[in-house]
Amino acid sequence: MEIEEYYSREEWMRFKAKADQVETPSLIVSLGIIRRRFEELLTFFPYAKIYYAVKANPAKEIIELLRDLGSYFDIASIFELDKVLSLGVSPDRISFGNTIKKEKHIKYAYDKGVRLFVTDSKPDLHKVARSAPGADVFVRLIVDGSETADWPLSFKFGCHPDMAYDIIVEAKKLGLNPIGLSFHVGSQQRDIGQWDDALTKAKYLFDLLEGEEKIKLKMINLGGGFPAHYIQKTNETKEYASEISRYLHDNFGDDVPQIMLEPGRSLVGDSGILTTEVVLVARKSNSNLTRWVYIDAGKFGGLIETIDESIKYPIHVERDGKREQVVLAGPTCDSMDILYENNKYELPVNLEMGDRLYFLTTGAYTASYSSVEFNGFPPLKVHFIE
């Protein structure tokens, strides 16, 4: 791969300048890239409210940046809520986006001023009704995008349309304000048509609820699922935006509902480069041709999304010449801490201990996934640049 496929020369030089100053392993995050991605989203989806999925990267610096840019925030727990509130975000800009919530946490969020909750089951709905009376709720639908998303999200969350219908009706009876539906087509979803399928289901439910129950829903939360730039090719966010806008108009005509987006990966994924160092290059026997390359970051130090080799990060190395396939592994005494064994990366034949490997597009779901001290290794350090 060429670094130019992923970053402008100027962006890369800024990463590199910081990387040269810090010890490995560390994550370098460009706030400038996040700003540009956010502004792109505003341009492509001018009709949408953008809720940043804080879990993708909960760094204070990122929350502050997006706060100042006018973003809304999707939180997964009261711990994220506390963080976002402590940084001066008002509670009316926050959506409690986890369908799995303790009742005391719902109450906690309500007492702090949060009035927007997702749900996908009656037991959760009843908790919301008791502890967040009168709040706005939306119901998460199951959609099946698992075959074309690199990180499928379909089965743990959401409910089938028949149950969504019942939940909406019951929400109203319980004094809540059912405002709409949400779905997530899977993180890093490559098939734009998935949004069309999901919107068709949503439209069906909108019509049914209005016709049979006189409940007029007014909002659709399209979730996340827009791409960051990994090795697998995807369409650009712009393409997603224009197709999705078309699907919305095809389904809803002139009566398009309010749209929420919950980008995480697409907003911050590209912003990070994880700088690592080669600790060891070794073979397993005198006759074995495959080199094992061990680096100082691994599954437990930020790269957990290499599990099942799901996410294939682009890797940059500053050596030219012939390349050969390697197995790439992390530094811990855990056999699971192998990054790529089946999808072999090609690295220079003259790769040496001490060389740096740069994992591109590591701004999302890395630092927050680090283990506290597995094998004693400290959590991933993060540095910010413009």
Closest distance to a copy of itself from the beta carbon of 230 (Å): 17
The DSSP line for 84-149 is HHHTT--GGGEEE--S---HHHHHHHHHTT--EEEE-SHHHHHHHHHHSTT-EEEEEBP---TTTE
Report the residue from 31, 153, 198, 241 that binds a copy of itself according to the rule CB under 8 A: 153
Residue 55 interacts with a copy of itself (CB under 8 A): yes or no: yes
Chain positions 310 to 369 lying near a copy of itself, rule: CB under 8 A, are: 329, 331-338, 353, 367-369
Instruction: Select from 222, 71, 223, 220 the least CA-distant residue to 138.
Output: 220
For residue 285, what is the DSSP state? S
Distance CA 98, CA 363 (A): 22
How many residues bind a copy of itself (CB under 8 A)? The answer is 78
Report the residue from 3, 75, 179, 205 that binds a copy of itself according to the rule CB under 8 A: 75
Nearer to a copy of itself, 185 or 248 (CB): 185
Nearer to a copy of itself, 81 or 248 (CB): 81
Three-state helix/strand/coil letters over 146-183: CCCEEECCCCCCCECHHHHHHHHHHHHHCCCEEEEEEC
Closest distance to a copy of itself from the beta carbon of 115 (Å): 20
Q: State the angle between helix axes of 78-86 and 103-111 in degrees (0 to 180), rounded to the nearest 10.
A: 20
Closest distance to a copy of itself from the beta carbon of 122 (Å): 8
Report the residue from 89, 129, 142, 241 that binds a copy of itself according to the rule CB under 8 A: 142
Distance CA 302, CA 337 (A): 11
Identify the three-state secondary structure at position 258.
strand
Nearer to a copy of itself, 53 or 248 (CB): 53
Strand-pairing partners, residue 385, are 30
Closest distance to a copy of itself from the beta carbon of 331 (Å): 5
Q: What is the largest CA-CA distance in the chain?
A: 75
Query: Which part of the chain contacts a copy of itself (CB under 8 A), choosing from 85-93, 96-104, 188-196, 267-275?
Result: 96-104
Nearer to a copy of itself, 42 or 208 (CB): 208
Name the residue with tokens 């341009």. Answer: 43
Distance CA 106, CA 271 (A): 32
Report the residue from 35, 49, 64, 76 that binds a copy of itself according to the rule CB under 8 A: 76
Chain positions 179 to 238 lying near a copy of itself, rule: CB under 8 A, are: none
Report the residue from 49, 91, 252, 374 that binds a copy of itself according to the rule CB under 8 A: 374
Closest distance to a copy of itself from the beta carbon of 78 (Å): 8
Report the residue from 2, 4, 20, 162 that binds a copy of itself according to the rule CB under 8 A: 162
Nearer to a copy of itself, 96 or 195 (CB): 96
Angle at 150 between CA 264 and CA 83, to 5 degrees: 20
Instruction: Select from 259, 211, 233 the least CA-distant residue to 312.
Output: 233
Nearer to a copy of itself, 2 or 308 (CB): 308
Closest distance to a copy of itself from the beta carbon of 368 (Å): 5
Residue 91 interacts with a copy of itself (CB under 8 A): yes or no: no
Distance CA 253, CA 292 (A): 56
Query: Which part of the chain contacts a copy of itself (CB under 8 A), choosing from 118-126, 202-210, 251-259, 317-325?
Result: 118-126
**158 in Cβ contact with 218 (< 8 Å):** no
Chain positions 267 to 296 lying near a copy of itself, rule: CB under 8 A, are: 277, 279-288, 292, 294, 296
| Token couple for 48 | 């949408």
Closest distance to a copy of itself from the beta carbon of 101 (Å): 7
Nearer to a copy of itself, 7 or 294 (CB): 294
Q: In whole angstroms, how large is the CA radius of gyration of the chain?
A: 22
Residue 307 interacts with a copy of itself (CB under 8 A): yes or no: yes
In this structure, what are the phi and psi dihedrals at residue 289, rounded to the nearest 5 degrees?
Answer: -90, -20
Closest distance to a copy of itself from the beta carbon of 155 (Å): 7
